[in-house]
Structure 1
Amino acid sequence: MILMRSPFDWADRTRSQQDIAAEITAGLRGVIGVRTFAIQPNSLGIRGAGQGLTVALVGDDYGRLADVATVLVEKLEADPRFGQIRLGYDTTQPQLFVEIDRARAEDLGVEIDGLGEAFQAVLDGSTVGTIFLDDDSYDIDLVATTDPVNDPGDLERIFVTSDDGQMVPISSFASLTERAVAPELTREAQSRSVSITAALTPELALGDALSEVQAMADDLLGEDMRLVPLAEAATLGETSSGLVFTFAIAIAVVFLVLSAQFESFVSAVIVLATVPLGLACAIFALLLTGGSLNVYSQIGLVLLVGIMAKNGILIVEFADQLRERGRSVR
């Protein structure tokens, strides 16, 4: 069940969206038997955003991935900087498994070939053909006429013929067990995956949280496993890796435009000389106010380059006009 609430007008509330989500999560955490969590949508439209930190353990075996993920969840729950932790692998769906002892079946003279199809017909039915009537087609299903098999004891009343013509109960060489499996199996990067989602407190930024989880997982992951960031964490990694390249392209484009406008490389260098100082002041402001270098602050830094270049253009243009009127530099 999903409940949605539109935010109040900014003038009518004194709490932030994060404070409201934290209060809702804390209040619903005490409800036994119900798993609830509050999602805060973001303005960038990132898939899976608003849920905090989301990562996936990727490997070759779901069972081993689930075991490692369970231990990792216990470590995260012990850290008070993380909020509610959710494991995306729940074995809540019962499933029947049929295991055949091939050596025992051979000793009893039971042919293994075709035994799988026979089991399917007995347990769930099997499609053996199709009949066409006018423009419609209908499947022909082969089903057992006995009662359905849903208990290991039911195998004792199902018999197959051995090589010498005797009737052998299936229970003498096959076993039926019920196990709990996950109702949905996910994949990431074309590999089996188990996802973990952790809500974040104001004490821990998204990038720092990802680093903490990676450090915790280093001692748990096997050689065939790896940790993959998802949702906002993946977007942050992509933008952070291309941040230097983006700034380099932005400064190069601004420099070329300024050089063409002023018809002088010296004036362009003078304008761009203010950019490092402005970026340094922006980083200092983030550290002073306790902010983090996230997607939004990176966009702001790119915009800051353009704003400072615009202000520099006005100042240099005004200075050039004064010099053309005969005013000295001093």
Structure 2
Amino acid sequence: FGVLVSLFVSLTLTPMLCSRFLEVRSRHGRAYWALERFFRGLEAFYRRSLAWALAHRWTVMLAALAVTLSSVYFLRALPVELAPQQDEGKIFVNVRAPLGSSIEYTQRKLQEAEQIVGRYPEVVTEFAVIGLGSVGQVNQGLLVVRMKPRAERRRSQQQVMAQLRRDLTEIAGVRAFPRAPGLAPRQRSEPLQFVVRGPSLQEMGRVAAQLQSQLQLDPAIGRMDTDLQLELPQLVLEPDRVRAAGLGLNSSDIALAINMLTGGIDIAKYNDSPGDGERYDIRVKAKDGEFTQQADLSRIYLRNRSGQLVRFDSVAKVRETLGPAVIGRFDLQYAASFYATPVIDLGAAMARVRAAERSLPPGYSVTFIGEAEQLEKTSGDTVFTFALALILLYMVLASQFNSFLQPLIIMIAVPLAVIGGVFALWMFQPLAALGKLAGLEITTHSLNIYSMIGLVLLIGLVAKNSILLVDLSNQRRAQGLGVDEALANACPIRMRPVLMTSLTLILALLPASLGLGAGAESNAPLAIAVIGGMITSTLLTLVVVPAAYSLVENWRERRHARRGGGAALEAPQAPKKTG
């Protein structure tokens, strides 16, 4: 929409303003003549470079092909992720105690975690909760940490998390996993999330534990959290029905007594008078602390139908066992979910999980969820978007130039731009390594949805430079010049508009590429990809496109001459309006 508005303004408002306020002076200042001398020298250099390129067309094209193929190396060397982590000044710490732990134990461990977090000067507040989620297990807690605004602290959120991840390992008896807020609220936000699923619960648990142990041997994966909980200590009630019936009891009486004393049963409703309109449940249960171990159950007495008291352990016994605390399912199969924040990029971590998946038995598989799942979908969607943009661009150019070949010449600028965008993103990795040696912190960039959007934008941005060169060359050929003579005349004339429009876009995106202000983590990759693509496309297009145009159009003229054509072959022109 912005481009359409810009087109409307350039065709209506800009000419009107020029007619009113633009003055062409015959005398100019020093700044004008300094710039004019610079552009004239640049134009002279470009004329010599263009002449050499037209004399060595195949050399230029092979060099351009080699540069384009080199982008494969830089593309593979780039880290891949869905989106860069934003510095929101908030950290979540998931704390998981062993199954069967009491709420008091979990609370003590959360207090230890709070003490560690409180030592960080970047932290403003923190608070902890126990038993969140649909299951509400008391062996799990969440610590929410809020930090100072980014301008008031020296370390970023990612740096604080890296240090906090090491410090939380000091807490014995629990596993703590710091993580950043996710794209979706109230969901786990670790980048690497996947599900191991299969038809058998016990076998799935064994396979999932084996896969977790295998992946934990790789330090690049990082510590892994899981919701696999198949070893919860449980007490199985086994009533002696025959003996209970002889004493005037049944299984329902025994279960009711156990349930009431240990868990509690709602027996009535209560509302205060005059009251506030709310009714409250009345629950009957044993006093807290009365039943803390299995031996305490022997102190329970049941009253039979005759009014006599019968000791609990005389009609039932309790057996200790291990069972699942939570049974997870995914696509109608038993499943265990895993969560990790890998040290390496998400794409490389997913590849290692896929490699480990090959060791799973038949019937069991790994499915990515969360950010990892979206990364797989986004990669395919981006390829489709890129291909569709190229097809639409070709269709528009073919209709405007009345040619099937010249749009391909114009679109040579696209791969020349992609190599620049990819190289610009990759360049920050060696710069960060050198900066680390010098004690400087330089942010690296990855191939994510924002940088991919920048690469797609380059398709439309860089085509205009080629259009300027090819269109004026066609006009000069229509005036009677040969192919190379038309290029030698048209390209230097178009050099200034090409450089000015490209430089305008580069300077406009320069503040965003520096990573300043809010949203810098998402703005910088897009801006850097576009700036890198515009630089390489602008510089190479001025040489490569004329060489390709000369090859194609001279070949067309020779073919036309061999077929016995009399007049010289005319360059394709846009359709003229009649009437």
TM-score by length of 2: 0.44
| CA-to-aligned-CA distance 1:273-329 (integer Å, 9 cap, x gap) | 443565467668888979875434433432232233232222222223323333322
C-alpha contact (below 8 Å) 2:161/2:179 kept by paired residues:
no
Q: What is the CA-CA distance between 1:237 and the residue it aligns to?
A: 0.6
Separation in structure 2 between the aligned mates of residue 260 and residue 180 of structure 1, nearest angstrom: 70
Q: Which residue does the alignment assign to 1:159?
A: 301
Letter in 2 for 1:241: G
The answer to which structure, 1 or 2, has the higher relative contact order (CA under 8 A, 6+ apart) is 1
Separation in structure 2 between the aligned mates of residue 321 and residue 46 of structure 1, nearest angstrom: 55
Is 2:243 the counterpart of 1:101?
Answer: no
Distance 1:214 1:168, change over 3 A: farther
Letter in 1 for 2:225: L
Distance 1:187 1:4, change over 3 A: farther
Q: What is the CA-CA distance between 1:35 and the residue it aligns to?
A: 5.6
Letter in 2 for 1:239: T
Which of 239, 258, 275 aligns to 2:397? It is 258
**Larger proportion of helix:** 2
Which of 368, 372, 378 aligns to 1:233? It is 372
Q: 3-state DSSP class of the match of 2:389?
A: helix
Identity over aligned residues, as a percent?
A: 28
Separation in structure 2 between the aligned mates of residue 190 and residue 301 of structure 1, nearest angstrom: 40
Q: Which residue does the alignment assign to 2:223?
A: 85
Separation in structure 2 between the aligned mates of residue 59 and residue 152 of structure 1, nearest angstrom: 35
Which of 483, 486, 489 aligns to 1:329? It is 483
Which of 241, 244, 250 aligns to 1:111? It is 250
Distance 1:149 1:31, change over 3 A: closer
Q: Which residue does the alignment assign to 2:449?
A: 295
Distance 1:46 1:101, change over 3 A: closer
Q: What is the CA-CA distance between 1:238 and the residue it aligns to?
A: 0.9
Q: Which residue does the alignment assign to 2:350?
A: 210
Which of 272, 278, 281 aligns to 1:139? It is 281
C-alpha contact (below 8 Å) 1:62/1:194 kept by paired residues:
no
Is 2:216 the counterpart of 1:74?
Answer: no
Q: Which residue does the alignment assign to 1:305?
A: 459
Q: 3-state DSSP class of the match of 1:197?
A: strand
> Runs of 5+ in structure 2 lacking a partner?
1-142, 431-444, 485-579
Separation in structure 1 between the aligned mates of residue 422 and residue 287 of structure 2, nearest angstrom: 76
Q: What is the CA-CA distance between 1:7 and the residue it aligns to?
A: 4.8
Q: Which residue does the alignment assign to 1:318?
A: 472
Is 2:359 the counterpart of 1:219?
Answer: yes
Distance 1:146 1:72, change over 3 A: closer
What aligned pairs does 1:172-211 form with structure 2 within 5 A after superposition?
A: 172=314, 173-175=316-318, 193-201=335-343, 204-211=344-351
Letter in 1 for 2:368: P
Q: 3-state DSSP class of the match of 2:223?
A: strand
Separation in structure 2 between the aligned mates of residue 213 and residue 108 of structure 1, nearest angstrom: 55
Q: Which residue does the alignment assign to 1:54?
A: 193
Is 2:325 the counterpart of 1:171?
Answer: no
Separation in structure 1 between the aligned mates of residue 292 and residue 161 of structure 2, nearest angstrom: 45
Distance 1:71 1:130, change over 3 A: same
Q: Which residue does the alignment assign to 1:4?
A: 147
Separation in structure 2 between the aligned mates of residue 123 and residue 41 of structure 1, nearest angstrom: 38
Is 2:249 the counterpart of 1:249?
Answer: no
C-alpha contact (below 8 Å) 1:69/1:87 kept by paired residues:
no
Q: What is the CA-CA distance between 1:27 and the residue it aligns to?
A: 5.1
Distance 1:151 1:24, change over 3 A: closer
Distance 1:123 1:60, change over 3 A: farther
C-alpha contact (below 8 Å) 2:235/2:318 kept by paired residues:
yes
Separation in structure 2 between the aligned mates of residue 53 and residue 248 of structure 1, nearest angstrom: 28
C-alpha contact (below 8 Å) 2:235/2:320 kept by paired residues:
yes
C-alpha contact (below 8 Å) 1:271/1:312 kept by paired residues:
yes
| CA-to-aligned-CA distance 1:107-126 (integer Å, 9 cap, x gap) | 43242246444432232221
Q: What is the CA-CA distance between 1:79 and the residue it aligns to?
A: 1.9
C-alpha contact (below 8 Å) 1:28/1:36 kept by paired residues:
no
Q: Which residue does the alignment assign to 2:15?
A: none
Q: 3-state DSSP class of the match of 1:160?
A: strand
Q: 3-state DSSP class of the match of 1:101?
A: strand
Separation in structure 2 between the aligned mates of residue 141 and residue 46 of structure 1, nearest angstrom: 38
Distance 1:127 1:22, change over 3 A: closer
Q: What is the CA-CA distance between 1:212 and the residue it aligns to?
A: 0.8
| CA-to-aligned-CA distance 1:40-62 (integer Å, 9 cap, x gap) | 679xx577798453333345787
**Count of matched residue positions in the alignment of Structure 1 and Structure 2:** 316
Q: 3-state DSSP class of the match of 1:108?
A: helix
Q: What is the CA-CA distance between 1:165 and the residue it aligns to?
A: 7.9
Q: Which residue does the alignment assign to 1:121?
A: 260
**CA radius of gyration, larger in:** 2
TM-score by length of 1: 0.70
Separation in structure 2 between the aligned mates of residue 194 and residue 46 of structure 1, nearest angstrom: 21
| Structure 1, 165-174 or 208-217: larger mean CA deviation | 165-174
| Structure 1, 192-201 or 240-249: larger mean CA deviation | 192-201
Output the aligned Cα RMSD.
Answer: 4.7
Q: What is the CA-CA distance between 1:157 and the residue it aligns to?
A: 2.6
Letter in 2 for 1:24: Q
